[in-house]
Structure 1
Amino acid sequence: MELVADRTAAEDVLLFVNAAIASTGQREFHSDADAQQWSMEFLHEYMLVNYRDLYAATLTLGVNDRNAAAIIMRLLQTGRDASVAQRAVEGRLIAKSLAEMPTNRVYHLFTALRKARVNNRRTRAIIREWLVNRPDPAFEAVKYRSAFQGAVRHAHLKVDDLPAGEMDAFLFGRQAAGRFATPLFESWRRAHFDRRAVFELPYTVAEGFATKHRIKRADFLEQIAPQLTRGERLRLQRSAARIGAAHLVADVADLSRMPLTRLAAYVLALTVEEREERRLELTDALRAAALRVAGLRAGTWGRVAAVLDDSFSASGSSEKRRRPLVVALAAHFLLRELATDYRPLWLSGGDDPLMVRARGVTSLGERILDGLETRPDLLVVVSDGWDNAPVGMAAEVLRVWEERLDPEGRTAVAHLNPVFDAAGLEVRRLSPTTPTVGIRDAEDLPELVAFARFATGRTGLAELRAHIEARVARRLTEETPCST
C-alpha cells in the first residue's frame, strides 16, 4: 500500500508540473479558456493542500510565468499554514522567481495581492525587497505608475528608500514641486500639455498621450521609434504594415540575439514570401539562437530522430496562434545542434522547416515508425498528442517497440507536449509507458528530456523528491539576473 501511495504522490506532482509548464489559461485548439483556467485552479489548490513543499519547489522546474505567479500568490496567501522552515525556503524561491519574471507580470501579481488584501509581513518584505533593488525605478514609476504606486503603498515602503529622487512628489503629489529635476518625470509632466514631450516617454506611456493629443498613428510611430525596445519593434511591425508605416519601426536589431522560441514565433508570423526572401538571414539567426541554448552540449546527444507535429491542430488558437508549431520549429533547430546525427520527420512530410505551416491530419504513428526504423539513441516527439490518423496507432507502435523490438531500452523516447488538455487535467500522453512532459519554450528542452525519466509512472516519490530538492539547492545558489 505504501508503494502505491508513493507512486500516486509522484504522479500527482508530475501531473501538476507538466500542466504548469504547458498551460497559460488561454484557449487551445481543443479546449476553451474557461476550461483551461478551471482545471489549473483545481490543480493549484490540490498541490498546495497536499504537497506544499513540493508545490513551492516547482518554481525551479520551468513552470511558465503565469503559473509561477499563481504559485507565489497562493504561498503568500497561506503563510500561516507553513512551518518556519518552509516559509524560509519559500521566501528565497519567491525572491528568485520574481527577479527572473517579466516586470509587467510582477506588477500584475502585486496588484492582485493588493486586491486580495494579502498584506502579511512576509508579503510586504518581499515586495519591498523587489522594489528597492530595481535598476531603474524612475522608468518603472512612469511606465507602471498606478501599479508602482499601489505596490509602494501596499508594502508600506518609504519612498526615500528608493534609489530615485522626487519619487514622493511624482507618485503622490505631496510636494508642490512644479517642474521635476528627474528628466523622465519632467517629460511625463510636460506631456500633459506639450505634444513634443510625448516622444520622450516609454512607448506604452506615450501611446496614451498620443491619443489625448490626437497624433496620427503614422506620425506617432515615426517619432517614437527611437524609444522602442526590440520586442516592441517586432510586435508593432504587423500593425504598422497595415497603415503603410512598417519602415518606421523596422527591426534593425540583430535577430541572432533573440531567444530561440521568440525568434521562431517571429519567423512563423512572416509571410511565405518574406521567409523566402530572408531565408539566409532567418536560418542563420535560428541556428545561432539554437547554438547558444545548446552551449557545451552541442553535438553530444548522439543519433537523434525527431517527430515534429505540423498538423492542423498545431495552428493553436486565436489566443495562442501557432504556438505548438512555434515550439516544434524551435525544437527542430535546437535538436539539430545537440545531435551528432540528426533526422527530422515532419508529419506533413515536408523537408523545409523555414516554410513549415500547420496543415493536415495528425499521423503520429507512421512517422514514429519511420523515426524508430534507424534505431536512434533518442527519439523526441513534439506534438499535442492527438493521434488521429488512425486513432491509437502511435500508442500501438510504441508498445510493440518497447515490448518486442527494444526491450532493453537502447532507444530513449521522450514526448514533449506544448498543449494542456483541460478535460484530462494533463498534457495528453501518447502511451502509458512513454514519458510525456509539458513544454512551453524550446529552451527548456534539454532539461525536460532529462526530466522525462520521471514521467513513466514507474518512479517513486523519494527519487522525484531528491531530484527536485537538488534543483532547489542549485537554484538558490545561482546568481539571478534582474528581470526586464
Structure 2
Amino acid sequence: MDTYADLIECEDVLLFANAAITSTGQREFRATAGEQRLSLDFLHRYIHGNYPDLYAATLALDVNDHNAAMIIHNVLKARGDGPLISWRLARMSPPRVYRLFGELRRDGVNNRRTRAIIRDWLLARPDLAFDAVKYRSAMKAAVRHAHLRPPGELGDFLFAPHRRARFDTPVLEAWRRAHHERQALYELPYTVAEGFAARHGIPRAVFLERIAPRLTRSERLRLAGAHERAGIRDRADLAAMPLVRAASYVLSLPYGERRQHVAALRAAAARAAGPRRGTWGSVAAVLDDSFSSFGSPVKRRRPLAVALACHYLLEALAGSYRGLWVSGLADPVMARPDGPTPLGQRVLDALDPRPDRLVIVSDGWDNAPPGLAAEVLRVWRRRLDPAGGVRIVHLNPVYDAERFEVRRLSPLVPTAGIRDAEDLPALVELAGFAQGRTGPAELRAYLEERAAAR
C-alpha cells in the first residue's frame, strides 16, 4: 500500500514532468524570463536532490530540449550516470548539444563519464567535417574539453586551418576557397555561407536564390518571408514539418493566404497520428484562442499554434471530431489571439453530446466568468458522469512560474503540459497518473517501460 510519502513523490515527479515539457525559461504572457528560469531551476534542484534516479529517468518522457540539457548537465555534474543520456543527446539538435558541452566546460564538469559521452556523440555524428565547418568554435571547444585528438586534416582545420594549402574533404576545401571565391560559398551550409556572402558584398536576394538548394527544412520555413520579399517562390514543405512549427508558420501569414495550407496541416497531422489514426472514437476539443494565447514577444502565438496543431491532430485521431474554439471561431486557420476565455461555456457545449473523449487545450485562465469551467467539470464528474464514461484531459502549453506547475482547471480532471502536438497521445496517457489512482510504483514502471522502448 502506498504511503503518504509515496504519493508526494509521485505528485512531485509529475509536477516536474509537466514543467519540463512546457517551460523553456523564456518569457510567457504572465511571467518574465527571469521568473521562468528561477522557478524552473528550483524544480530541477528539488527533484534532483530528492529523487535522483527518477530525475534522470524523466529523460524518457517528452521533456523539451532545454530541460533535457539541464537534466544531463546536473546528472553529469553530480558524477551520476544515466543510461538515457546518450540516447537523448542523439535526439537533440546539434547546436543545443554543442551549447551543453560548452556549459559543461565552463562549469568544469570533466569527469571520465562526461568525456566518454562527448567522444561517443562526436563519433556518432554522420559528418564531422560538416560539423567542423558549421559549428567550428563549439566543436573545437568540445574536442579540447574531452581531450580528443582529431586525426589528419580535421584536426588541422579545427586548430590550424591555414596550415594546409588545400583540403581533400570537399566541405573543408569549400570553406578555404570561400575566403576568396564567391562561387565556393554556395557549397557551404547556409549559416556559414551567409557570413561569406556579407564579406563579398553579395546582394541578399541573389544570395537567397542561389543558396536555396542547400537550405534545411527549418531554414526554408524561417526564411519563407524573406524569400517572398525577394521575389523568390521557394515554399517549405509544411506537411513534412513538426505540427506546431507548421501551425506557427500558417498563423504568421496574412488571413487571405492561410486556407491554402489546410491540406498540408492535415497531411502533417495524419503523419503524426500514424497507426492511431481514426481509433479514438468520438472526440470533442475545447481550444483556447483568447488574448493570452498570444504568448510573448519571444514565443509569439506559441500557445495558439499548439492549439491549432492539436486541433488537426485530434481530427486525425478521432473517428468523429468536433472542435470548439473559445471565441466561437468556425474556421481554425483564421484563429487570432483575442478576447476573454469563456472556457466554462465551451466545455458545456462540448460535453452536451457525450463524446468518448474531451480534450481541453488552454493555459487554464478561465475568466469569463472566473471559475465556471471548474464548476462545470465538478458537477459533470460528481453528478452527471461519476463513472467517467467521458474521458477528459486538460493539456496546458504554458508553465506557471509562480505555482511551479502548469495551471489546472479542476482537481477532478488530469492536467498535462504540452509543447509539441506529436506528444499528445503520450501526454494523455501520462495525465492519467495525475488522477491519484496510481502511485510511484506504477509511475516507475511507466518510466522504465518508456526507457526500454527507446
TM-score bin (small chain): over 0.9
| Selected match of 2:244 from 261, 269, 286 | 261
| Residue 184, structure 1, aligned to residue 167, structure 2 | no
Report the Cα distance in structure 2 between the residues aligned to 1:199 and 1:227, rounded to whole angstroms.
8
Instruction: Give the aligned CA root-mean-square deviation in angstroms.
Output: 1.6
Q: Please report how far the alpha carbon of residue 393 of structure 1 lies from its aligned counterpart in structure 2 after TM superposition.
A: 0.6
Q: Secondary structure at the match of 1:455?
A: helix
The match for 2:90 is 99
Q: Please report how far the alpha carbon of residue 259 of structure 1 lies from its aligned counterpart in structure 2 after TM superposition.
A: 2.2
Q: Read off the aligned partner of 1:23 and give its amino acid letter.
A: S
For 1:312-351, what aligned pairs fall within 5 Å after superposition? 312-351=291-330
Q: Secondary structure at the match of 1:329?
A: helix
The match for 1:435 is 414
**Contact 2:344/2:373 (<8 A) preserved:** yes
Moved over 6 A (4+): none
Report the Cα distance in structure 2 between the residues aligned to 1:183 and 1:396, rounded to whole angstroms.
66
**Contact 2:358/2:390 (<8 A) preserved:** yes
Report the Cα distance in structure 2 between the residues aligned to 1:239 and 1:24, rounded to whole angstroms.
27
For 1:118-133, what aligned pairs fall within 5 Å after superposition? 118-133=109-124
Report the Cα distance in structure 1 between the residues aligned to 2:168 and 2:161, rounded to whole angstroms.
16
Residues 134-154 of structure 1: CA deviation (Å, up to 9, x unaligned):
111111100000001111111
| Selected match of 2:225 from 238, 258, 266 | 238
Q: Secondary structure at the match of 1:159?
A: coil
**Contact 1:238/1:246 (<8 A) preserved:** no
Q: Please report how far the alpha carbon of residue 174 of structure 1 lies from its aligned counterpart in structure 2 after TM superposition.
A: 7.8
For 1:13-28, what aligned pairs fall within 5 Å after superposition? 13-28=13-28
**Contact 2:358/2:392 (<8 A) preserved:** yes
Q: Secondary structure at the match of 2:354?
A: coil
Aligned residues: 454
Report the Cα distance in structure 2 between the residues aligned to 1:470 and 1:237, rounded to whole angstroms.
41
**Contact 2:217/2:241 (<8 A) preserved:** no
**Contact 2:217/2:237 (<8 A) preserved:** no
Q: Read off the aligned partner of 2:197 and give its amino acid letter.
A: A
The match for 1:207 is 194
Q: Secondary structure at the match of 2:435?
A: coil
For 1:27-426, what aligned pairs fall within 5 Å after superposition? 27-79=27-79, 82=80, 87=81, 90=82, 92-160=83-151, 166-173=153-160, 176-241=163-228, 244-247=229-232, 250-251=234-235, 253-276=236-259, 278=260, 282-426=261-405
Report the Cα distance in structure 1 between the residues aligned to 2:239 and 2:163, rounded to whole angstroms.
48
Residues 396-443 of structure 1: CA deviation (Å, up to 9, x unaligned):
111111111111111111000000001111000001121000000000
**What TM-score results when the alignment is normalised by the length of structure 1?**
0.91
Q: Please report how far the alpha carbon of residue 11 of structure 1 lies from its aligned counterpart in structure 2 after TM superposition.
A: 0.7
Report the Cα distance in structure 2 between the residues aligned to 1:289 and 1:224, rounded to whole angstroms.
26
Query: Whose relative contact order is higher, 1 or 2, with alpha carbons under 8 Å and at least 6 apart?
Result: 1
Q: Read off the aligned partner of 2:340 and give its amino acid letter.
A: V
- Of 402-411 and 217-226, deviating more is 217-226
**Contact 2:342/2:367 (<8 A) preserved:** yes
Q: Please report how far the alpha carbon of residue 222 of structure 1 lies from its aligned counterpart in structure 2 after TM superposition.
A: 2.4
Report the Cα distance in structure 2 between the residues aligned to 1:471 and 1:240, rounded to whole angstroms.
42
Structure 2 unmatched runs, 5+: none
Residues 92-124 of structure 1: CA deviation (Å, up to 9, x unaligned):
300000111111111111111111111100000
Report the Cα distance in structure 1 between the residues aligned to 2:364 and 2:380, rounded to whole angstroms.
18
